[in-house]
Amino acid sequence: MKRLAIVLAWLLFVGGLTFAVIRFSGLLDSMLVAGEPADISLGPDIELPKSPTYFLICPLEACPSTHRNAQSPAFDAAPDTVATALQATAGELGMKLVEGDGLSLELRFLARTPIFRFPDWVDVKVIPSEQGGSRVFAYSRSVYGNDDFGQNEKRLKSWMAATVALIGQQAAPKN
């Protein structure tokens, strides 16, 4: 029995060490490739996956019929300002810009889950509102798996909160 415990402890140690080396060396990023995402059209007729591996932030009138969404915040800022703020706050959440820039109102990011580094695609479109502000349509989806365990929802909600805070700080008067 003692011998079995020693073998199991050794296997656990070697397995943990192997995972740590693979995880922190960046090998998982090259092993779990994101592939090339399909071209999508963000809007009420977006084609959504059957499995719960996605989440949307969208204006109420542009949201498709799904329970995996939340309403977009109303930004009291120009669309290019919102796009720049989205780009600035994305890095804090571990998202890497792969298409678009601060002047583009459509951006694509590659995000990875914190521990196992599974890739997720995040597309965002800034929509000018009729009242002079902006709204956001964001779509985050997993590349692998049949469930995202709420990761895409958490990512988009945190991102919107960080962007609202950044735009609010920029609009606040400086003393």
pLDDT digits (tens, 9 = 90+) for 118-151: 899 999 999 998 888 899 999 999 999 888 889 9
pLDDT digits (tens, 9 = 90+) for 1-26: 888 889 899 999 988 877 777 766 76
Residue 173 pLDDT > 50 = no
Angle at 121 between CA 118 and CA 124, to 5 degrees: 150
The reply to whether 75 and 99 lie within a common domain is yes
The reply to whether 167 and 114 lie within a common domain is yes
Q: How far is the first Cα of the chain from the last one, in angstroms, to the nearest whole number?
A: 71
d(CA 148, CA 114): 12
The reply to whether 94 and 11 lie within a common domain is no
The reply to whether 60 and 114 lie within a common domain is yes
The reply to whether 92 and 157 lie within a common domain is yes
The reply to whether 120 and 136 lie within a common domain is yes
In the chain, % helix, strand, coil (3-state, to 5) comes to 40, 20, 40
pLDDT reported for residue 20: 75
The reply to whether 23 and 88 lie within a common domain is no
The reply to whether 109 and 141 lie within a common domain is yes
pLDDT digits (tens, 9 = 90+) for 67-103: 899 999 999 999 999 999 999 999 999 999 999 876 7
The reply to whether 159 and 140 lie within a common domain is yes
Domains identified in the chain, total number: 2
Q: What is the CATH number of the domain that holds 86?
A: 3.30.310.80
The reply to whether 117 and 156 lie within a common domain is yes
Q: Domain span at residue 88?
A: 35-171
The reply to whether 40 and 27 lie within a common domain is no
The reply to whether 162 and 94 lie within a common domain is yes
Instruction: Give the residue among 119, 115, 70, 111 at the shortest CA–CA distance from 89.
Output: 111
d(CA 145, CA 148): 7
